[in-house]
Structure 1
Amino acid sequence: MLESITPLILTYNEAPNLERTLQQLQWARRIVVIDSFSTDATLDILKRYPQVEVTQRKFDTHAKQWNSGLEQIQSEWVLSLDADYVLTNALIDELKTLFPAPEIDGYFIPFKYCVFGKPLRGTILPPRQALFRKGRSHYIDDGHTQLLVVKGQSESLSNPIYHDDRKSLSRWLWAQDRYMVLEVKKLQETPLSELGWGDKVRKQKILAPFIIFAYCLIIKGGIFDGWRGWYYALQRMFAETLLSLRLMEANLRENSRTNQPSQNPD
């Protein structure tokens, strides 16, 4: 099936990650990259791979970036990847022998989160529907990220993709703040009845950071990964704390406008 798949990648200043991703895509006849005007060595790395075709597009939303990439895909199947996703050899072998039934339009792929190159025992990353028929799928925005809408049935693959982000902690902190602003907007605009239990807990502001820390470290076994497990658990706790602060800020700002005393004279 490999010959009918085109990898699609979004990039913005991904020089610390991109080489590892592309090395595991050398089987692809064509790789489509949508770049948000990177200023580091990202474009230089991409030029070293002749099957890569780069289009630069100013970033507005994740869904619009992905959909613009889909418009450039000519093959039946798309493999959507972030620039820090690394296909395992086992997954590539599985793709070689994959023969989708006509009613199957997508596949969920499991993920293993890596900290400085080493996969953790367990993380909070759910499987992602990263392989799908181009003509039967499109993206919509969902908070700080995107959601793939697939028309037909979906199945799951057995072997994982590694999520191996080696950008600096400063870059991660910058990105998390941007993400959480969008997550606050989603949580405020979505009716409570339509939120999952996780988002309902997040709206309470206080509990979520402590729950996610215990979940990553104890329930998912991060404590057995040594300092890498602690690093990941603290990262996730920080992200949830940042979301709680952004939610508090939004609520307090709204309350201050509502309770502002009238300036009209008697």
Structure 2
Amino acid sequence: MADLTTIILTYNEEKNIANAINSVLPISKRIVVIDSYSTDRTIEIVKSFGIEVYQNEWVNYSKQYQYGVNVANIDTQWVLRLDADERLTAKSAEEIEILCSENKNTEINGIIVRFTVTFMGKNLKYGGIYPFRKLLIYKNDKGYIEDRNMDEHIILTEGRSIELKNDSLHHDFKDLSAWIDKHNKYSSREVVDYFENINKLENGIKLNKSAKIKRFVKFKIYYKLPLGTRAHLYYIYRYYFKLGFLDGKEGKIFAFLQAYWYRFLVDAKIYEQNLMVKKKYEK
């Protein structure tokens, strides 16, 4: 067992939470669940494991996770941030346990987790989706979460990170309606993040390589393209240039919804916000 505390955020995750907990049980000294007042069986399932659970009103992922860190009063060397629709495999869990043990006194202060992404029951291998990388494991006194409304990352204050060789799973058992509802909420957070950060400099924040590239592309290239057109270009890039069509019908649906529904919805909400500001000043 690693000297590791796992923090899991939940809201109506009765279909996912047991799998998430079971995947980290073998390597976690402690598991803490932070729930946003679920109305399904999430709390009942968590308590059946005898695991600590706290409830807190939802603002965004960053603030909810930070609440978890504060209330848990963590005393392990390592911390793992896990979403309820994510889970470790036996191989990735074993690798994490080994790396945590081997790097107790090294400059390795973070571990990047690799995920396969499942959509409508299919593992997506193309379209630039796989592998999905996130820095989720870090030494307790060497990292913190960004205070952002969207795309928040764990930031290391010093040292460096390494990437797992074995994949973990991003597998949400909820249906497409839940996916659409979740991404509608994401789009509103994206708009807030856009206006807060479009002209802001990173000021030397130590993002891992994958996160740094994605954020640069998003704010320095994608958002510089014409509103409305960029969603179309995003689809072409994902579906054709990154071979998303090789994932079959599920790949087609995923690419279409990501571009022409989600990314275009973000653009529409940005346009709406600008329109409201313009009308306000015209009065």
Q: TM-score range by the shorter chain?
A: 0.7 to 0.9
- More displaced, 212-221 or 154-163? 212-221
Are 2:258 and 1:259 equivalent residues in the alignment? no
In structure 1, what residue type is equivalent to 2:60? Answer: T
Provide structure 2 residue ranges, at least 5 long, that are not aligned to the other structure.
202-214
Partner residue of 1:137 out of 138, 143, 158 = 143
* Larger gyration radius, structure 1 or structure 2: 1
Structure 1 distance, partners of 2:89, 2:230, is 32
- Partners of 1:116 and 1:164 within 8 A in 2: no
Partner of 2:118: 114
Deviation at 1:4, TM superposition (A): 0.8
Pairs within 5 Å for 1:209-228? 209-228=231-250
Structure 1 distance, partners of 2:67, 2:241, is 39
Q: TM-score, normalised by structure 1?
A: 0.88
Structure 2 distance, partners of 1:49, 1:215, is 44
Q: TM-score, normalised by structure 2?
A: 0.83
Partner of 1:198: 218
Structure 2 distance, partners of 1:166, 1:216, is 24
Secondary structure of 1:252's counterpart equals helix
Partner of 2:53: 54
Structure 2 distance, partners of 1:207, 1:160, is 35
Deviation at 1:198, TM superposition (A): 2.1
Structure 2 distance, partners of 1:210, 1:15, is 36
- Partners of 1:143 and 1:182 within 8 A in 2: yes
Provide structure 1 residue ranges, at least 5 long, that are not aligned to the other structure.
261-266
- Partners of 1:10 and 1:81 within 8 A in 2: yes
Deviation at 1:193, TM superposition (A): 6.8
Secondary structure of 1:129's counterpart equals strand
Deviation at 1:191, TM superposition (A): 4.5
Deviation at 1:40, TM superposition (A): 0.7
In structure 2, what residue type is equivalent to 1:47? Answer: K
- Partners of 2:120 and 2:176 within 8 A in 1: no
Partner of 1:263: none
Partner of 2:166: 159
Alignment size in residue pairs: 258
Deviation at 1:183, TM superposition (A): 1.7
Deviation at 1:197, TM superposition (A): 3.1
Deviation at 1:34, TM superposition (A): 0.4
In structure 2, what residue type is equivalent to 1:257? Answer: K
In structure 1, what residue type is equivalent to 2:181? Answer: W
Deviation at 1:58, TM superposition (A): 1.2
